[in-house]
Amino acid sequence: MALQAGIVGLPNVGKSTLFNAVSNSAKAQASNYRFCTIEPNVGQVDVPDERMDKLAELVQPQRVVPTTFEFVDIAGLVKGASKGEGLGNKFLANIREVDAIVHVIRCFEDENILREEGDINPIGDKEIIDTELQLKDLESVEKKIQRVEKMAKTGDAKMKRAYEVLVNCKEHLGEGKNIRGLGLEGEDREAIADLFLLTEKPVLYVANVDEAALLTGNRYSEALTKAAEAEGAQVIVMNNSIEAQISELETKEDKEMFLSEYGLTEPGLDRLIRSTYTLLNLITYFTAGVQEVRAWTIHRGWKAPQAASVIHTDFEKGFIKAEVIAYNDYVQYKTEAACRENGRLRIEGKEYVVQDGDVMHFRFNV
């Protein structure tokens, strides 16, 4: 599943530094000037999961394979991006291609790092990006209104409803609000699906603070958190430079020692990755055997045949049954055989909705 989260924000807020820290397959240039990043950088990210480590401890496989998704480092947006300022059209197109947005906002003071927007103002910075995305969406919605309006007047019920939804979206955007706040579903969602609206994408905020505010936050991150809560979004407080240093350490022991020096129990990156994974509405199931313990990514709500397809399409085509053990049961009884003996291994059919943490084995015939 090639799902992507795009890292966005104003220039020089720490986007590329964050990308370099989080990615294990690519590195981006991080410099103190505007538009250091032009072409988007794409990096693969392992999803940290203690459950996989525990299963590996029990099974002792030859290898352990975590699940992954992708982060995309997108160039800094500026005021006027929706009108093409700062190569805005190119960068907005890059955002349109991702599935979720990680919005990095500067919450620290440092006179050595360029800032053209004046005093540090996380709410103002957030609104600059929001406005540019809203203006671009408004342009897309207005164009479709022109196409749909004529068809709606013919009496076509579906087109009439689509027109009403589009007008509602236009009014919502005109009030400076994001489309995701409308919570569109079903046919209403279909009315705008082809537009891939920027403000419909789920968002997560990163408050990039200085070292002194790493554990407690500061007035800037607190203001951002309050604003994010009003729209039902989450804020991860972290210091991107420190996270980049942690990511460069090779051993688990070195990382733990570094973290303890700052009073941290885990890297902020782990929290960010897990939160982004949840933001994308993803869950994990596992396969566990002597050859490997592997984590697999699926969308929440997928049924067993769909889940099987991420291993191989033949698994879905020839799906017969799924053998399922809940993660907690596997940990309690320690082996698949013991789970079977104690009635904790279930046989599920095509309608079974896979649960986060399920340990599964598929029966299929092609």
User: Which residues are known binding-site members?
Assistant: 12-17
Round to whole Å and give the CA distance between 11 and 120: 13
The CB-side HSE value for 328 (13 A sphere, CA atoms) comes to: 2
In the structure, how many helices (H) and strands (E) does the chain have?
14, 12
Beta strand 292-299 pairing with 282-288 = antiparallel
| Residue keyed to tokens 């070292």 | 211
Residues flagged as binding site for ATP: 12-17
DSSP 31-66: -SSTTS--SPEEEEEE---HHHHHHHHHH--SEEE-
Dihedral sign from CA coordinates of 93, 97, 100, 105: negative
Which tokens belong to 301? 């709500």
Within 8 A by CB and 6+ apart from 7, the residues are 15, 18, 19, 71, 72, 73, 74, 102, 104
